[in-house]
Structure 1
Amino acid sequence: MRLLNGLHAYGTGHRPAVSVNGRGLSAQRLRNAANAVAADVHGAATVAVDATASLETVVAVTGALLAGSAVVPVPADAGPAEREHILRDSGAAVTLSNRLPGATPVDPDRTAQFAGPAPAPDDVALVMYTSGTTGAPKGVELTHGAVEAGLDALADAWAWTPEDRLVHGLPLFHVHGLILGVLGALRVGSPLVHTGRPTPAAYAAARGTLYFGVPTVWSRVCAEPAAARALRPARLLVSGSAPLPAPVFERLYALTGHRPVERYGMTETLITISSRFDGERRPGQVGTPVAGVATRLLAEDGTEAPRDGETIGELLVKGPMLLRRYRGQPADSARTPDGWFRTGDLARIAPDGWHRIVGRASTDLIKSGGYRIGAGEVEDALLAHPAVREAAVVGVPHEDLGEVVTAYVVAAPGVGERELIDFVAAHLNVHKRPRAVHFLDALPRNAMGKVQKKRLGGPML
């Protein structure tokens, strides 16, 4: 099948094409095991996969795709209610798992023959469920053609070839870990080393040329200089799923010699914007649109916002890698009539086309005293203080100002609230300074390292 064309690039030797937590399969053994899964699920329109960080998950996803089924990765840490919602909403006829009662088990050592028709580009390849921060998780339908276009655009931007050795330890139920980190490797034909968990020691020992990580991973790598220096022979470090703080970018460059590539995407769009292997990398910015993608910036009144590097607007994207629809909803409900997807993210676009993501419109646009303030720029200013390790900024309701800028930080002992407020005021316009700073031991984050701002808040001031 076209999505997994890269399987042929591995050759017929015994070298592992994929390894997960120390267990590996050659390309031939992966094809054999995937054929066995395909034979098991053939005829099922939709197949759920218990997406643990395991070789079984790779085999299950590959086999279900070979069978022409739409794959539904179920988060390994999903509770009973979330799992039940995903299975019911997706209509999965079969569940592949070695740990859930009544599921079909997966054995990477099985061998079988399977020859089914290749899926069409418009057939659904994956149904990825969103985090559900505004309600029950929604199923995002991604077609074979969309996934292929998205992966090919990244291979172009990152000069990703079969000569690479990809290393990551990200969850296998998100776009980053599964679509980019597994299907990307299988499409390109580059060996994949999944470390089980993304620890600095595991990354250092893997001897990769291409590494994927989220900001939390790179921050922890920087905290262990010996592990960071072990990445110097690599070709490219990629950071995504959340903004990479500028101090981590600079520290990573100092220790590894690599300025990391940052990129932007969503479950609904895959990766649409990225800096390039052969181009500039700017801290705090995610680059320019990848091949086939166009972007727009809308002001609050619905007019086109200027690309001046200062004006904040909602980012809209268009390209071949966008979702077909949300599960159970009409296709035209996911996009504007002329094909644009409203991301709900706030951005600035510079005259040279570089994009900076400011945050989510629902949580990161703070309206205070008539000013529109992006939480991301205040967070960047706080992170520039040497004592601040993590920062999250939200708008807290205020009777007079509408909202006030409020910061939550993880910082070294000794730094005080007034010091940080004055520090931000010295770096940004004074109206952007936090009116309050709360000190925490850790920020609430999800499995991909994104701060869960809905869990932060405070009383009206």
Structure 2
Amino acid sequence: MRLLTSLHSADDRPGAVVALDGALSRHELLARAGGVAARLRGLPIVAVDAVPSLSTIVTVTGALLAGVPIVPIPPDAGVLEREHILRDSGATVLPDLPPPAGDVPAEPSANAAALVLYTSGTTGAPKGVVISRAAIAADLDALAGAWQWTADDTLVHGLPLYHVHGLVLGVLGPLRIGSRLIHTGRPTPRAYAESRGSMYFGVPTVWSRIAADPSAARALAPARLLVSGSAPLPVPVFDDLATLTGQSPVERYGMTETLITVSARSDGERRPGHVGLPLPGIGTRLVDETGAPLPNDGRTIGHLQVQGPTLLDGYLRDGGVRPPDLADGWYPTGDVATIGPDGWHRIVGRASTDLIKSGGYRVGAGEVEDALLLHPAVREAAVVGVPHPDLGEQITAFVVAEPVGAAELIDFVAARLAAHKRPRVVHLVGSLPRNAMGKVQKSLLTTE
């Protein structure tokens, strides 16, 4: 199966792939990747230190051409994380050597494993998620339709090359669809503003920083698509981007195990606080704790399950692949959400941290966070449920803000949401702990 179809096209414009360490045409990339593929023959699985560079893109491309599953290792991984990934996967780290030009081998079947992506490890040791070539192709083709993504586009981003957003969408997408790719190394407002693209990818932290730099935001006005993912985009940031760039960002939803499953459309509505509609071929549903279906009424919060061709093959276990635990073919995402009568999805957050059961009510942390962010003094907010002897869980907020009183913020939320959704306690902090993709690590928040 030819996964990276644009590499074989007759179009060989210079600078098809640009990074901080150089640029390659498609045929130059294909030749170098062919050399890597030749070196990989006979290896069952390989790993690459996924620094944001052409060398990483060449190595990943070569492994995909050779049909050898590849494990991208975060360049900032600690010793223990790196050792776990290599031991768990059994992968050989490919040396960073200049590859010779080589013949392009015949690519394997669609069902062959392409990538092993390790989860962030928030609920235990990182797990190796096995993603097939067919799943990647199905997802990229669906996104190409939803976003009207074509070979005429230039994609700009500076996201890490070891996650779905930066690697699968941000690198393999252009190599399949044929669009030009500019990787900025780091996703800074200046780097984005100085790169002329028609599409930009970012996580909420990136977009928040761009929105706070009006000149950088206005420089993106000629682009046709600003895509946000990996975490919910705060509504105030959504609104600021719309004002500064003249267009609302497109939000989408996915995870390592499912790739991208829900998205707003480039030619359709873009709603703040919502991630859109299921992609073609994707099914979604809400269930309660017993697995019983819940209504799509836009209000009821339930556990989100998905099904479709983009799901993982399974997890690496003891030298093999353990299939995921499915509920009648549905994958339990671990996220909670609402679905409206028109099919629009709003992601509340992780069931383990963002669904708060307080005083008999089910409260989504994201709704409270959005309300806090409407206060002009608040820059960042994270809301969690803290064990409470009477309420079960007490709604507790951690806020990065200009000088403001906790009581003022509690009253501010109470005036905008139902009284039972107000935080009972607000902690003013200097910063929120985040991972490389900008997601707040709520397990690290502490009241001490």
TM-score range, shorter chain: over 0.9
Q: Does 1:143 align with 2:132?
A: yes
Which shows bigger deviation, 321-330 or 202-211? 321-330
Q: Paired residue for 2:373, among 383, 387, 392?
A: 383
Map 1:253-402 → 2, pairs under 5 A: 253-328=242-317, 333-336=323-326, 338-402=328-392
Sort the Cα spacing of 1:9 and 1:256 in 2 relative to 1 into closer, same or farther, 3 A.
Answer: farther
1:200 aligned partner: 189
- For 2:417 and 2:290, locate their aligned partners in 1 and report how far apart those are by CA, in whole Å: 26
Q: 1:122-147 deviations in whole A, cap 9, x for unaligned?
A: 10000000011111100000000001
Post-superposition offset of 1:117? 2.8
Secondary structure of 2:440 counterpart:
coil
- For 1:115 and 1:380, locate their aligned partners in 2 and report how far apart those are by CA, in whole Å: 50
Post-superposition offset of 1:226? 0.9
2:80 aligned partner: 81
Secondary structure of 2:4 counterpart:
helix
1:100 aligned partner: none
Letter of the 1:407 counterpart: A
Map 1:25-174 → 2, pairs under 5 A: 25-92=24-91, 94-96=92-94, 104-107=95-98, 110-174=99-163
Letter of the 2:12 counterpart: T
> 2:70·2:115 contact (CA, 8 Å) conserved in 1?
yes
Letter of the 2:38 counterpart: A
- For 1:40 and 1:130, locate their aligned partners in 2 and report how far apart those are by CA, in whole Å: 28
- For 2:46 and 2:108, locate their aligned partners in 1 and report how far apart those are by CA, in whole Å: 15
Letter of the 2:411 counterpart: D
Secondary structure of 2:150 counterpart:
coil
> 1:127·1:142 contact (CA, 8 Å) conserved in 2?
yes
Which shows bigger deviation, 119-128 or 18-27? 18-27
Secondary structure of 2:121 counterpart:
coil
- For 1:45 and 1:447, locate their aligned partners in 2 and report how far apart those are by CA, in whole Å: 29
> 1:346·1:357 contact (CA, 8 Å) conserved in 2?
yes
Q: Does 1:18 align with 2:9?
A: no
Q: Paired residue for 2:198, among 193, 205, 209?
A: 209
TM-score under structure 1 normalisation?
Answer: 0.95
2:3 aligned partner: 3
Secondary structure of 2:3 counterpart:
helix
- For 2:380 and 2:393, locate their aligned partners in 1 and report how far apart those are by CA, in whole Å: 22
Post-superposition offset of 1:338? 2.5
- For 1:10 and 1:191, locate their aligned partners in 2 and report how far apart those are by CA, in whole Å: 15
Sort the Cα spacing of 1:394 and 1:25 in 2 relative to 1 into closer, same or farther, 3 A.
Answer: same
- For 1:212 and 1:85, locate their aligned partners in 2 and report how far apart those are by CA, in whole Å: 30
Sort the Cα spacing of 1:16 and 1:383 in 2 relative to 1 into closer, same or farther, 3 A.
Answer: same
> 1:10·1:17 contact (CA, 8 Å) conserved in 2?
no
Sort the Cα spacing of 1:90 and 1:10 in 2 relative to 1 into closer, same or farther, 3 A.
Answer: farther
> 2:119·2:126 contact (CA, 8 Å) conserved in 1?
yes
Q: Paired residue for 2:423, among 434, 439, 443?
A: 434
Secondary structure of 1:196 counterpart:
coil
Post-superposition offset of 1:377? 0.7
Secondary structure of 1:219 counterpart:
helix
Sort the Cα spacing of 1:185 and 1:368 in 2 relative to 1 into closer, same or farther, 3 A.
Answer: same
Post-superposition offset of 1:28? 1.4
Which shows bigger deviation, 180-189 or 333-342? 333-342
Secondary structure of 1:397 counterpart:
strand
> 1:72·1:126 contact (CA, 8 Å) conserved in 2?
yes
> 1:122·1:145 contact (CA, 8 Å) conserved in 2?
yes
Q: Paired residue for 1:453, among 437, 442, 446?
A: 442
- For 2:9 and 2:147, locate their aligned partners in 1 and report how far apart those are by CA, in whole Å: 18
Which shows bigger deviation, 280-289 or 321-330? 321-330
- For 2:122 and 2:34, locate their aligned partners in 1 and report how far apart those are by CA, in whole Å: 37
- For 1:297 and 1:425, locate their aligned partners in 2 and report how far apart those are by CA, in whole Å: 28
> 1:22·1:195 contact (CA, 8 Å) conserved in 2?
no
Spell out structure 1 runs of 4+ moving beyond 6 A: 329-332
> 1:396·1:406 contact (CA, 8 Å) conserved in 2?
yes
- For 1:384 and 1:55, locate their aligned partners in 2 and report how far apart those are by CA, in whole Å: 41
Sort the Cα spacing of 1:333 and 1:115 in 2 relative to 1 into closer, same or farther, 3 A.
Answer: closer
Q: 1:16-65 deviations in whole A, cap 9, x for unaligned?
A: 11111251111111111111111111111211011011111001100111
Which shows bigger deviation, 330-339 or 299-308? 330-339
Aligned identity (percent) is 65
TM-score under structure 2 normalisation?
Answer: 0.97
Q: CA RMSD in A?
A: 1.3
Letter of the 2:131 counterpart: L
Q: Paired residue for 1:407, among 386, 391, 397?
A: 397
- For 1:275 and 1:457, locate their aligned partners in 2 and report how far apart those are by CA, in whole Å: 35
1:101 aligned partner: none
Q: 1:277-300 deviations in whole A, cap 9, x for unaligned?
A: 011000000000001100010023
Letter of the 2:442 counterpart: K
Sort the Cα spacing of 1:281 and 1:167 in 2 relative to 1 into closer, same or farther, 3 A.
Answer: same
> 1:167·1:208 contact (CA, 8 Å) conserved in 2?
yes
2:216 aligned partner: 227
Post-superposition offset of 1:6? 1.5
Q: Flag structure 1 segments of 5+ consecutive residues without an equivalent.
A: 97-103
Which shows bigger deviation, 169-178 or 300-309? 300-309
